[in-house]
Amino acid sequence: MGRLDGKVAVITGATSGIGWRTAEVFVEEGAKVVIAGRRAPEGEALAKQLGANCIFRKTDVTEEDQMRALIGAAVDKFGRLDCIFNNAGGPAQTGGIEGLEVDRFDQAMATLVRSVMLGMKHAAPVMKKQGSGSIINNGSIAGHLGGYSTSVVYGAAKAAVIHLTKCVAMELGESGVRVNSISPGAIATGIFAKALGVETGAADQKAAGMREVFKTAQPIPRAGIPDDIAQAAAFLASDQASFINGSDLVIDGGVIGGRNWTQQQQGYVQLRKMFGQTVD
């Protein structure tokens, strides 16, 4: 028996990385899923892999008509909607404030924030009518603290997602609908290569190499992987999380908890040497 038996979920941004793995986990746990993304070949391949419990809908998550149709497809196909994981996103313009281009700023905000708003807007009436549901939004540790993204726009957008989540949770919780977010840390996906201008398909192939780069970024000595986020999303979608609402679940191996112990101790040793003290 799976944690999500009998549940129906929509997962955006499912053609790679976190969304792809989340779709796999949800089906493994017994859910029926509608996956969405802009790349039809990848989405159709995943739907074929997952079988009758999964359908793909090509979707631009920044367009309201397409998001409305995506939610409608889930209800039409499977009869209800128990979860939406607003996972779709992408990189924003890198660099500092002086070089920001307004058009690129607006595009990033549409992809990262408007898409989340639209997912919640059109899932809400379905879930309120049912008297139940779980909305999960993809945040980031960059939305908690400055300096955790190469893009100030990305960090600001993710902070907006985290706070929007809390605001909507206060509203929909009264109707039995839970709204939470997940803030990943250094997860080895193609988004980092995409931020540097690498073509989408090629960027996804770089994800494995990121594991070596990220393994010392936090106290837990390995990189985060999409499954870390997928398993958390499955928990928040399940009845095991029925009293969790308005929360942001940080999954980062401890990176924003403070300085790594070894780093701090190395600084301590250097300080003692500066004062001419013997170091044991």
Provide DSSP, 104-150.
HHHHHHIIIIIHHHHHHHHHHHHHHHHT-EEEEEE--GGGTSTTSSS
Bridge partners of 95?
A: 151
Of 56, 85, 154, 214, which is the active-site residue?
Answer: 154
Q: What pLDDT is attached to residue 204?
A: 53
**pLDDT over 90 percentage in the chain:** 76
Parallel/antiparallel/unpaired status of strands 133-138 and 177-184: parallel
Residue extents of the structural domains in the chain: 8-274
Q: What is the pLDDT of residues 90-143, one digit of tens each?
A: 999 998 899 999 999 999 999 999 999 999 999 999 999 999 999 999 999 999
Dump pLDDT digits (tens) for 197-226: 555 555 455 556 666 667 777 888 888 999
Q: Which CATH architecture has domain 8-274?
A: 3-Layer(aba) Sandwich (3.40)
268 labelled catalytic:
no
pLDDT of residue 197: 53
44 within 8 A of 70, measured Cβ to Cβ: no
Q: What is the pLDDT of residue 219?
A: 87
pLDDT score at 261: 79
